[in-house]
Structure 1
Amino acid sequence: MNKSNFLGKKTSKLLAGSLSAVFLLGGSASGFPAVQAETANFTVDARSSVYTATYSELAPEPAPPQPGLLSPSANPPLMPPGPGHAELERAALLETLGMSSSELWQAQRAGQSLAEIATSRGVDVQKIVDLAAQSLTARLDRELADGRITQDQYNSRLNEVAERAASTVKRTPPQPPVPGELEPDFGPGLKHVDKDALLSTLGLSSDELRNLLKNGQSLADVAASKSVDVQKVIDLVARTLNSRLDQELSEKLIWRDEYETRKQEVAIRAADAVQHKHPHPPGHP
């Protein structure tokens, strides 16, 4: 997309709502506490990148679906976005697609991306990409004005808006987990760790490790009790964090400057995750 197509529209009143990153792996792929993204229209919880979480508490467990909750209301919200996605302003998006909230909800619930929805409606996908680009630019403007990013960060991210908007519109929205199919994880920072490799390194079964963590031990404690070099566990977690970061960058889920900063923090984050003691049982038994 020609950047001038949307940069000239920065002051457009078409998008008054926020576009915090459209519908991801995080972080921000990823298995840490949820962060809330609020718009003028609705509030959603999105999984953040592993690097945005604190290690002092666990992410809240998702509430199991109840009968009737999956049926769209007269004015349902857009599908909950995952990391790296943004909430397009409802009115502008619906007007461009020529759809009602309920129709859009159903299409997203069926796993369609905004690009697929636009194509099925005979709408030029570039129009949706332009909406996403305008909203991303508006969000950057607000963050700069609020002092949340520097001028250098603003300039750098502005150059990435076109690619990020296009990637966002093509991304399939995440689907809610199926009850009973939630795979347990071992706590903050470890959702995407290679569980088989971790268990093999520690010489434990999944249940044995969860029980030890439940009783207040950290992975470092467990490794020490099994006469395993703690650094091996830290290295394993660090590889996971690096891999997740690379994936998030390739999928345009994070900005380049965020990627570079978080890359420098991987060793510290991995050590924190391994040293973390669980105040509550991680994951689901």
Structure 2
Amino acid sequence: MKRLWKWIAVTGLVVLGIALALGAAQAQGPDTPPPPKPPAAAKVAPLQELADVLGMPVADLRAALREGRTIEEIAAEQGMTMADLADALYNRAAERIEAAVAEGRLSRTRADRMLEALKTRHDACVNEGDCRPPRPPRPPRRPRLKAKVRAMGRIVADTLGMSGRELLDALRAGQTLEEIAAQQGVTMDAIADALYNAAVEQLDRAVENGRLTPERADRIRPRLEQRRDACANEGRCLPLPPPCREPGTPGN
């Protein structure tokens, strides 16, 4: 029974890590178009995650489980303890959360709450033997203008020499960011660089604080560079706010 609880706990940590990462990816404002769904091969299943941590093919892990061997026995054969597994699974989930923060899909405040909950369950399992799986996390709330978008808006507004309200009003009036930048005498490259530098600073801070490994940060940087280029070349820098309705139109 104790081994069963340990297996449930490890599986719970895997599922929680994946759920947190998926929840972070979905924590976008209603005006932000959702990203395209990844192909099936790109999704990380709990068994695949566990096999990766154990350093063995998922087919071999599945076969071993079907033979009746426990996760603890398989881990021992791979030179790992249950604590090693819990640590590795926690670190992977934490990396996904930090990546979501660095890419602007999750606020720092919410990420810290997720990490705290994940660490509490990890420590209880490893140190106290309390390996009950945690409750599934609630779906993230989707405020109209989440904190990360507001922070990005402030960076853009500061670069343009405008207040956040002035920028928002101009966007809602139907102006594009390129048009606003031209009126303010600011290039799109300047806006893109400001957003990119802020994201890199946040990424470096996560590495310094131990919340993200340097290797994971290096994998995130190319995506930040792609976002910078999309902002500079295509004007895709911010989610667009809904346009203001004219008085007398439906909805007022």
Q: TM-score by structure 1 length? A: 0.38
Q: TM-score by structure 2 length? A: 0.42
Identify the structure with the greater helix proportion: 2
Who wins on radius of gyration, i.e. which is larger? 2
